[in-house]
Amino acid sequence: MTTQTGLPTMHETTYGIGGKHIFVAETGDGPAVLLLHGGGPGASGVANYSRNIAELAKEYRVIVPDLPGYGRSTKGVDGADPFGYLADLIRGLLDQLGLEKAHFVGNSYGGAAALRLALDTPDRVDRMVLMGPGGIGTTRALPTPGLNSLLNYYKGEGPSRLKLEKFIRTYLVFNAADVPDSIIDARYRDSIDPEVIADPPLRRPSGPNALRTLWKMDFTRDERLSRLPVPTLVLWGAADKVNRPSGGRMLAERMPNCDLYEVANTGHWVQFERAELFNRLCADFLAGRR
């Protein structure tokens, strides 16, 4: 059964993990796959994967959490080690779900969370698909204009619909017309939650330990990357203005079981912009058909 939005009917649960509340929607049967969303203002799980859930649910048990700091989950993230914090909570979610291991699909911020979880506990990850993940070569070059736009959203005069629209239409996607106003409106409403404004989940590291945090957030500085056994498919938009496409080649050169697919005429949101291609590649890779 599908709803008017084209999404299948999803079972919704809120789990208590480490004193935090993590909202999860799920549907489908089969091997478990967790879809971890990106970290842009107003992001959430089901909305970010709205063009993928129904197709993947034909073959998989699709589990879509709102990451800490977003959607209906507890707000706030540990700024000293944000990727580690996310990985710990998602690992706790696996425990709550009774899953020894699962497939992971992660876009941007969610890709960084999946990769950190895999590095810390590779036995909990079956196969992994990463789309323009964060934390790749971030200490080796200045931030992109797109990343600056994202990180500055809550600064200066504060959040506004105009700032969010500029980020999405100018930096997030290749074709601005592909994003309907309704998506921007919904994300703007979520981005101005008072709890989020008071404690944005994605920000530049600061304070005396900022350099240590930055180093920890760049996976190309982690020696474990070259030993990670998890089969991984990296999808990267060739026109990504948030995370540089060169990050895909960095991963392919360092990871022993990494396939790289660079997607032409596509920005940072591969699963949305090229949904049909993404759904086919993702389903086949997770099943071991390619």
Catalytic center residues:
268
Exposed/middle/buried for 16, CB within 10 Å: 0-12, 13-18, 19+?
exposed
Decide if 14 contacts 59 (C-beta within 8 A): no
Residues 6+ apart with CB under 8 A from 182: none
> What is the signed CA dihedral for 254, 104, 94, 53, rounded to 10 degrees?
170
Measured in degrees and rounded to the nearest 5, phi and psi for residue 76 equal 95, 140
> Which amino acid makes up residue 9?
T
**What are the distances in angstroms from CA 190 to CA 5, 172, 245, 277?**
19, 17, 29, 29
- Provide the β-strand partners of residue 11: 26
Q: Write out the DSSP string of 158-180.
A: ---HHHHHHIIIIII-S-GGGS-
Q: Which residues pair with 35 in a beta bridge?
A: 105
